[in-house]
Amino acid sequence: MSCVLQNNAYGKSRVRLTKVIRQPQRHELKELSVDIQLEGDFAPSYTAGDNSKVVATDSMKNTVYVLAAEHPLNDIEGFAVHLAQHFTQKYAQVKSATVHIQEDLWNRIVSNGSEHKHSFVSAGDEKRVTTVTSAQGALEIESGIENLLVLKTTDSEFWGFVRDEYTTLPEVRDRIFATSVAAYWLYGQQQPDFNEIYARVRQLILDVFAKHHSLAVQQTLHEMGKEALAACPHISEISITMPNQHRIPFDLTRFNMENKNEIFVPTDEPYGLISAQIVREAKQMSSIGADKAQAKIR
């Protein structure tokens, strides 16, 4: 029997970094977690324990800190591009470098009505992320937002679905809609103002969520995607995932009380999971981007 090493990759994950930019008037704070994965001519390490082309993951870690010291870190996309290209340009054996960055978000502490110049309070679990791949001279930049936790108390319906012998869910014209939005958008060939687009997509997701009268989680998700593509010409596609974090009405009639659509049981599991990829125009499914979106949906 013969077997073949079909794919391989290795790297360093959770390289955490704090950078302080000490400007005279106020300090800027960036906190990131960086993951690096390299593909290339590394088969000898797998098949023979020959590490002569292996860049140690410990060296990747050092590289993150060294490059961060010299980089302005205006946006995570720029730093991820810099890191990914560093690996493909410096090491001939690296055919592809993928850099994923997750940014922990901080707000300035507001004290006596003004923003403090060097003190911060966490913006919560919401994360800004990017994944940049440098391969064969080309770049792919996907950015996103994760754990954007939202809830609306009305303007959400769900009815008209298949009713058969497995159905017990009643149709409902007014339910709570709660979800943790994850959205990932792919940039085209230009490198626009990443911070501005991030802020715009984030606000737009909140706006659509607040204002859209929802007949299905699917419909609201699609509306978000459509609006994002309409508002951001630099984005060629967007993938959104929205788990349905159910609030189940508690049945008060068992206690001789009226159900007034006020008391609910929040549950973590099981949960509905809705996702879609919306693109500016129909794509061939052979591209790397489509495969990755597919994987996300699965």
What positions carry a catalytic annotation?
A: 12, 57, 246
Q: How many CA atoms lie within 13 A of 186 on its CB side?
A: 20
Give, in degrees to the nearest 5, the angle at Cα 211 between 208 and 212. Answer: 70
Please report, as residue ranges, which positions from 181 to 210 form the binding site for a copy of itself (by CB under 8 A).
203, 206-207, 209-210
User: What is the contact mask toward a copy of itself in residues 252 to 291, using x (rule: CB under 8 A)?
Assistant: x-xxxx--xxxxxxxxxxxxxxxxxxxxxxxx--x---xx
Q: Determine the interface stretch with a copy of itself among 50-58, 75-83, 134-142, 184-192 (rule: CB under 8 A).
A: 50-58
Which residue type sits at 163? R
Residue 243 CA, distance from chain mean position: 14
Cβ burial, residue 29 (10 Å; 0-12/13-18/19+): middle
Q: Six-digit token pair at 283?
A: 């794509």
Q: Is 113 helix (H, G, I), strand (E, B) or coil?
A: coil
Task: Give, as ranges, the residues between 95 and 124 that touch a copy of itself (CB under 8 A).
Answer: 98, 106, 109-112, 116, 118-124
From the list 99, 182, 186, 293, which residue makes contact with a copy of itself (rule: CB under 8 A)?
293
Amino acid 96 reads S
**Which of 72, 92, 154, 199 is close enough to bind a copy of itself by CB under 8 A?**
154
Cβ-proximal residues to 82 (8 Å cutoff; 6+ apart), any chain: 67, 71
CB of 223 to a copy of itself, least distance (A): 9
Tell which positions 8-27 bind a copy of itself, by CB under 8 A. 8-22, 27
Which one of 35, 85, 95, 192 is in contact with a copy of itself (CB under 8 A)?
Answer: 35
What 8-state DSSP symbol labels residue 94?
E
CA distance 225 to 220: 9
Please, are residues 129 and 93 in contact by the beta-carbon 8 Å criterion?
no
**Which among 51-59, 75-83, 138-146, 188-196 is the span making contact with a copy of itself, rule CB under 8 A?**
51-59
Q: Is 65 in the site for a copy of itself (CB under 8 A)?
A: yes
82 sits near a copy of itself (criterion: CB under 8 A):
no
How many residues touch a copy of itself under the rule CB under 8 A: the total is 151
The verdict on 146 binding a copy of itself (CB under 8 A) reads: no
* Minimum distance, C-beta of residue 137 to a copy of itself, in the bound complex (Å): 19
From the list 41, 72, 138, 167, which residue makes contact with a copy of itself (rule: CB under 8 A)?
167
Which structure tokens are listed for 271? 């949960």
**From 75-83, 134-142, 143-151, 189-197, span contacting a copy of itself (CB under 8 A):** 143-151
Token pair, residue 146, equals 């994760």
Q: Which is nearer to a copy of itself, 4 or 137 (CB)?
A: 4
Please state, in angstroms and rounded to a whole number, the distance separating the CA atoms of residues 220 and 214: 6
